[in-house]
Amino acid sequence: MGIFIVYWIIVVLLFFIGIIQIIVKATKDQPVKPGLKLVIASVIMLVIGAGACAVILSNLNIGH
């Protein structure tokens, strides 16, 4: 259970760090590609994590 919490914390941190990087670098007229990579990675992790949670939760109801 603890690993799920750590996973979701990492996803949220990556997303917010990416957004902050995009904003800061856009105001300084620097390339925003590293920030975009972090945001895209966090969205992919979100989709994978949500899918894994759905599979785990659907397997819990099979025994009933």
Are 55 and 35 in contact by the 8 Å Cβ rule? The answer is no
The structural domains of the chain, with segments of one domain joined by +, span: 1-62
- pLDDT, tens digit, 9 for 90 and up, residues 3-59: 888 989 999 999 999 999 999 999 999 999 999 999 999 999 999 988 888 888 787
Q: Specify the pTM.
A: 0.78
pLDDT at 3: 83
CA distances to 12, 56, 58 from 43, in Å: 9, 20, 22
